[in-house]
């Protein structure tokens, strides 16, 4: 089912499958969200839970038992139920089931909350641990944005402009996209600008830590932009399909990282995961601002 949110600035659509953003338009009908061309990438804006990116061999261990889970977890392939829907607010919910417990042996409730505030879409990930033991997980967003945002401009006319004069750290990844410990400084132009080129993704995603907590997709040749704010996220993924001229870019706020290279992670020991005690609730808010 497709839900619609609308105010004087934006019209947003959300698919109940995965709670995936389906459309983000301004009042003149201009579309800012990538529309999922399967020739490049068939998705639009995945939500990631309870694990972000890849597990080595698709497996992890917990309390001495081995479990299997697909890339980015299972929310993105689950049907979420609407708990609340008004013109400016949508609350979707996923509760654990026999199917989820085969992959992730916890009793939980996961909420995905979308709220329009003028020209901004605020997104909240909320997780409640209804189990008798501590839960370990990650949450993240994987939205794709159209590039260029305006006719007459090219992909290479755009950049990502970070909010602070600070070179972030690029997390080291192996060729098959696992953490390998080879972190390095990412030197930004003028201290805060990352110019876009298609070839920058030939080694797949660029994942950052110790970065500014907001970034803007923009062009000096145009007037439209997308700002992503992620004050509670420790990592930021930047991606489009490698070795293509894909006309989009994903700006992905992450709370945690994928598995280490050749390590089947013990979920209770992976240091960057969220650790939520029994009976407690976790929330993480981030925003997409359209200009």
Q: How far apart are CA 272 and CA 291, in angstroms?
A: 33
Global pTM reads 0.96
Q: How far apart are CA 131 and CA 288, in angstroms?
A: 32
Q: What is the pLDDT of residue 54?
A: 95
Q: What is the pLDDT of residue 55?
A: 96
Low pLDDT (below 50) residues in the chain: none
Q: What is the pLDDT of residue 229?
A: 98
Task: Please give the distance of CA 64 from its chain centroid, rounded to a whole number.
Answer: 30
Q: How far apart are CA 44 and CA 2, in angstroms?
A: 14
Counts for the chain of helices (H) and strands (E), in that order: 1, 23
Q: What is the pLDDT of residue 108?
A: 98
Q: What is the pLDDT of residue 119?
A: 97
Q: What is the pLDDT of residue 148?
A: 97
Residue 61 tokens read as 């261990």
Q: What is the pLDDT of residue 103?
A: 96
Q: What is the pLDDT of residue 208?
A: 97
Positive or negative: CA dihedral 269, 273, 275, 279? negative
- Which positions ≥6 away from 22 have C-beta within 8 Å? 2, 13, 14, 15, 33, 44, 45
Contact 136, 267 (CB under 8 A): yes
Interval 14-37: pLDDT, tens: 999 999 999 999 999 999 999 999
Contact 259, 173 (CB under 8 A): no
Q: What is the pLDDT of residue 188?
A: 96
Please report, rounded to a whole number, the percentage of residues in the chain having pLDDT higher than 90.
98
């Amino acid at each position: 089912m497709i839900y619609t949110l609308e105010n004087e600035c934006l019209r947003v659509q959300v698919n109940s499958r995965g709670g995936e953003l389906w459309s983000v338009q301004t009042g003149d009908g201009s579309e800012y969200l990538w529309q999922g061309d399967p020739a490049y990438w068939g998705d639009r804006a995945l939500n990631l839970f309870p694990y972000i990116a890849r597990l080595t061999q698709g497996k992890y261990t917990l309390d001495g038992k081995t479990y299997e889970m697909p890339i980015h977890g299972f929310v993105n392939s689950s049907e979420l139920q609407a708990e609340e829907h008004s013109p400016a607010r949508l609350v979707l919910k996923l509760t654990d089931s026999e199917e989820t417990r085969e992959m992730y042996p916890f009793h939980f409730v996961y909420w995905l909350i979308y709220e329009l505030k003028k020209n901004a879409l605020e997104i909240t990930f909320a997780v409640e641990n209804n189990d008798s033991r501590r839960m370990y997980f990650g949450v993240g967003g994987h939205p794709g944005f159209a590039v260029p945002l305006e006719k007459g401009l090219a992909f290479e006319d755009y950049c990502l402009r970070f909010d602070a004069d600070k070179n972030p750290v690029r997390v080291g990844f192996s060729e098959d996209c696992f953490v390998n410990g080879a972190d390095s400084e990412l030197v930004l132009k003028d201290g805060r600008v990352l110019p876009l080129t298609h070839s920058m993704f030939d080694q797949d995603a660029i994942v950052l830590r110790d970065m500014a907590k907001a970034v803007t997709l923009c062009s000096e040749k145009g007037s439209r932009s997308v700002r992503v704010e992620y004050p509670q996220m420790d990592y930021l993924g930047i991606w489009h399909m490698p070795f293509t001229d894909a006309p989009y870019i994903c700006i992905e706020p992450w709370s945690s990282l994928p598995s280490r290279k050749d390590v089947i992670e013990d979920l209770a020991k992976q240091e960057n995961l969220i650790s939520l005690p029994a009976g407690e609730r976790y929330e993480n808010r981030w925003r997409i601002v359209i200009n």
